[in-house]
Amino acid sequence: MDKGASFLADRGVIRISGIEALSFLHKLVTNSLLDLKPGGARYAALLSGQGKLLFDFFVIPMPDGCLLDCPRAQIADLIRKLTLHKLRTPVTIEDASASLAVATVWGESVPADFSGLAFADPRTADMGLRLIAPAEALAFATTPQDAYEAHRTALGVPKGGVDFPYGDAFVHDADLDWLHGVDFNKGCYPGQEVVARVHFRKSARKRIVKVHFDGPPPASGSEVMMGDINIGHIGSVAGAQGLAMLRLDRVEDARTAGTKLTAGAAALNVAPVPPQ
């Protein structure tokens, strides 16, 4: 059975303190936060005005504000971006990674004596639980992170910086709409017009999809070729499975023509893409 508990060393935590923390964030991100209840979490993104995905994170409500579970490497830039939008909103934004860390558990239970925060990964139920606590409280999470990355890859869940580039991908490119990261009924936020236009016109051109390698697994970043035409690139790789960002029209052309897609020395079998 696929199960484990992994400490996620590449994740960090931002604390936003103040009773207006959720309403402040709600105006900026792709998902609705006003109905977020204690014990839950939302996956959301902060976009550029042109609709490009700058940051993605989990929002966890707290009695005095909220926490953001986000890529550790982006913390300084994300705090700077949020501070620019803060203006006179009475909230405090700080890096809490010195006292709080992140882990994940899937296919098994959290220890009974765990005293930190545990919430269901909102992207898809099979991802399991995410945990936030001081690092010493997560000492039980000893499964190598590579096992978690393989679990994530098998479920088709992309990772920013690996499967899509921050600052140069749209919401639909990164599958945020499939992963419960967008509320298409909420009010305005930066980049919202671009997101809504693609959604309602069903005009997404690229998607991250699951692929299976028939041959030696290619390196992450390898080009996906349809003959001599580049139609995308490989992201996460876990054995014979991987994720690839591909041009949907080219994938359909290849299927119609019976043309094999390749990456490196491997042929690619592309999982069916859900309708837009």
Could you report the per-residue pLDDT of 68-77, keeping only the tens digit for each?
999 999 999 9
Residue 173 lies in a domain: no
In the predicted structure, residue 204 carries a pLDDT above the cut 60: yes
Instruction: Using pLDDT thresholds of 50, 70 and 90, give the confidence band for residue 22.
Output: very high
* CATH at residue 257: 2.40.30
Q: Are residues 108 and 224 in the same domain?
A: no
Question: Do 143 and 210 share a domain, yes or no?
Answer: no
pLDDT tens digits, 39-78: 999 999 999 999 999 999 999 999 999 999 999 999 999 9
Under 8 Å between Cβ of 242 and 152: no
What integer pLDDT is reported at residue 187 of this predicted model?
Answer: 84
Percent share of the chain, pLDDT over 70: 99
What pLDDT does residue 6 have? 98
Asked if residue 80 has pLDDT above 60, the reply is: yes
In a domain, 14, yes or no: yes
pLDDT of the residue at 128: 98
In a shared domain, residues 23 and 146: yes
- Residue 267: is its pLDDT beyond 70? yes
Q: Are residues 121 and 42 in contact, defined by beta-carbon separation less than 8 angstroms?
A: no
Encoded tokens for 135: 């690092």
Do 150 and 32 reside in the same domain of the chain?
yes
Edge-to-edge, what's the strand order for the sheet holding 11-17?
Answer: 42-47, 53-62, 65-71, 11-17, 92-95
Structural domain including 32 reads 4-154
| Statement to judge: residues 13 and 136 lie in one domain | yes
How many domains does the chain fold into? Answer: 2
In a domain, 69, yes or no: yes
Q: Is 80 exceeded by the pLDDT of residue 94? A: yes
Q: Please indicate, yes or no, whether residues 140 and 212 belong to a single structural domain of this protein.
A: no
Task: Say whether both 141 and 263 belong to one domain.
Answer: no
Q: Which two tokens stand for residue 210?
A: 């699951």
Return the structure tokens found at 156.
């088709």
Residues 150 and 219 in one domain: no
Considering the chain, what percentage of its residues have pLDDT values greater than 90?
96
For residues 59 and 118, membership in a common domain is answered with yes
> Is the pLDDT at 3 greater than 60, yes or no?
yes
pLDDT at 74: 98
User: Does residue 174 belong to any structural domain of this protein?
Assistant: no
Which CATH number do you get for residue 18? 3.30.1360.120
Asked if pLDDT for residue 235 goes beyond 60, the answer is: yes
Phi and psi of 94, rounded to 5°? -145, 155
The verdict on 60 and 128 lying in the same domain is yes
pLDDT at 188 over 80: yes
pLDDT bin (cut points 50, 70, 90) of residue 191 is very high
Considering the domain boundaries, does residue 109 fall inside one? Answer: yes
Report the predicted TM-score, pTM, of the whole model to 2 decimal places. 0.96
pLDDT of the residue at 4: 97
Provide mean pLDDT across the span 262-274. Answer: 93
144, 264: one domain: no
**CA atoms of 166 and 108, how far apart (whole Å):** 32
> Which of 93, 127, 154 is a domain's end point?
154
Distance of CA 100 to the CA centre of its chain: 20
Does residue 218 lie within any of the structural domains? yes
What pLDDT does residue 226 have? 97
Q: How do beta strands 229-238 and 241-247 pair?
A: antiparallel
* Final residue in a domain of this structure, among 129, 154, 179: 154
14 and 131: one domain? yes
SS (H, E, C) the chain: CCCEEEECCCEEEEEEECCCHHHHHHCCECCCCCCCCCCCCEEEEEECCCCEEEEEEEEEEECCEEEEEEEHHHHHHHHHHHHHHHCCCCCEEEECCCCCEEEEEECCCCCCCCCCEEEECCCCHHHCEEEEECHHHHCCCECCHHHHHHHHHHCCCCCECCCECCCCCECCCCCCCCCCCCCCCCCCCCCHHHHHHHHHHCCCCEEEEEEEEECCCCCCCCEEEECCEEEEEEEEEECCEEEEEEEHHHHHHHHHHCCCEEECCEEEEECCCCCC
The Cα–Cα gap between 143 and 157 comes to 19
pLDDT of 275 above 80? no
Domain assignment present for residue 104? The answer is yes
Residue 167 lies in a domain: no
Kindly give, in sequence order, each residue whose CB lies less than 8 Å from that of residue 109, ignoring residues fewer than 6 positions away: none
Task: Supply the pLDDT for residue 274.
Answer: 79
1 pLDDT band, cuts 50/70/90, is low
